[in-house]
Amino acid sequence: MITDLKRVIKAGFKNFTRGGLVSFASVLISTITLSTITSIIILQAVLYSSLNIIKDKVDVTIYLNVGVQEGQAMLLKASLEKLPEVAEVTYTSAEDALAQFRERHATDYPTIQSLDEIGENPLGSSLNVKAKEISQYESIADFLKSDNVLVSGPASIIDHPNYYNNKPVIERLNSIISGAQKLGFLLTFVLVLISVAITFNTIRLAIFISKEEIGVMRLVGASKMRVRGPFLVEGVIYGVLATIFTLVLFWPITAWFGRNMTDFLGINVYEYYFSNLFEIFVIILLSGILLGVISSFLAIRKYLNK
């Protein structure tokens, strides 16, 4: 068995070297396929980075009534933090809100003058809420309308949350994120199918060149595994070489994007590529080997069934 395995592996390398331009074309097509898969991995990282940036900018501010005590605000904050949808709650006191207001309107002298004439702080404290997912803000808003902790005596401590003002924007962003994720999955599926079809036909061409040799082997009683084995090994060689070429190819490409496109993309592609190099290597190596082996298996089946 070990002797047969050695012969199969040796024959696979012999087929590869004898293939010449056809072997080169097969490796090239496999490299293009794996480059497509690698590009999709990086594009998904860029997409999720952009979506996370958008998510971080979306929040809901709960404006509390003027004069609400900090203890009451902290009770509400603690109640919100217990919700599974909530990622973070930040408290802004009335004094901080006034300081921020003065800073924003530092050059608006009539507004500052009017504020000074009032002689007291007209602003209330607030709570800034960030949800784990954009789609969860509505359930947080529903909680704000129903929970008893919002009531101090007969009156609610909440002036108003700005969720309903921002609701159209939040819903639009949520639909964009959902659509982008579905589009990314569909694009990945289509490109992989196209790549498999191209690789399959390229390897089929390589096997077609050896059809007479396959016929002779079948006539002398060679087993199906003995006939198929060298082509499966050849498919593995295509996958391994294509993986190496793909990794080398993306080194300068990601370096250029890292130097010139980080601000635009929101992620340093070069740093992402090298920090996840092992995972990318495993994914494209397994993809390349499976692609080569499955394509070889399917392509030679025609000649084995004759």
Q: Domain of residue 6: give its range.
A: 2-54+173-304
Contact (CB, 8 A) for 23 and 296? no
Is 177:135 a contact under the CB 8 Å cutoff?
Answer: no
41 and 177 assigned to the same domain: yes
Calpha distance 66→53 (Å, rounded):
33
pLDDT (tens, 9 = 90+) of the chain, 306 residues, equals 677 777 777 877 777 777 677 778 778 888 888 888 888 888 878 877 777 777 777 788 888 888 888 888 888 888 888 888 888 899 998 888 888 888 887 787 887 787 778 777 888 888 989 888 877 888 888 887 765 455 444 456 777 777 767 677 767 777 777 777 777 778 767 766 776 677 677 667 767 766 777 777 767 766 667 777 777 888 888 888 989 999 999 999 999 988 888 877 778 889 999 999 999 999 889 888 887 777 777 767 766 665
Q: Does pTM surpass 0.75?
A: no
What are the structure tokens assigned to 148, written together?
A: 């008893």
Question: Quick check: is 29 in a domain?
Answer: yes
Query: For the chain, what is the radius of gyration of the CA atoms?
Result: 32
Contact 161, 139 (CB under 8 A): no
Same domain, 187 and 47: yes
Are 64 and 227 within 8 A, CB to CB? no
Contact between residue 70 and residue 125 where contact means Cβ atoms under 8 Å apart: yes
- For residues 49 and 70, state if they share a domain: no
Between CA 276 and CA 274 the distance in angstroms is 5
**120 and 220 share one domain:** no
Same domain, 28 and 123: no
From 99, 130, 156, give the residue that closes a domain: 156
Task: Say if residue 103 is in the same domain as residue 180.
Answer: no
Determine, yes or no, domain membership for 164: no
Total number of domains constituting the chain: 2
- Classify residue 163: in a domain, yes or no: no
Say if residue 105 is in the same domain as residue 248: no
For the record, the structure tokens of 98 come out as: 């006034």
In this structure, the answer to whether residues 184 and 300 fall within a common structural domain is: yes
The answer to whether residue 70 is domain-embedded is yes
**Of 40, 24, 26, 23, which is closest to residue 284 (Cα–Cα)?**
40
C-alpha span between 44 and 47 (Å, rounded): 5
Instruction: Verify that 136 and 218 share a domain, yes or no.
Output: no
Backbone CA torsion sign across 228, 20, 252, 257: negative
Partners of 156 in the β-ladder = 151
Output the six-digit token pair for 53.
Answer: 């940036």
Q: Which of 111, 126, 156 is the last residue of a domain?
A: 156
Are residues 104 and 253 located together in one domain of the fold?
no
Q: Are 247 and 104 members of one domain?
A: no
CATH number at residue 93: 3.30.70.3040
Q: Are residues 103 and 222 in the same domain?
A: no
Under DSSP, the state recorded for 146 is H
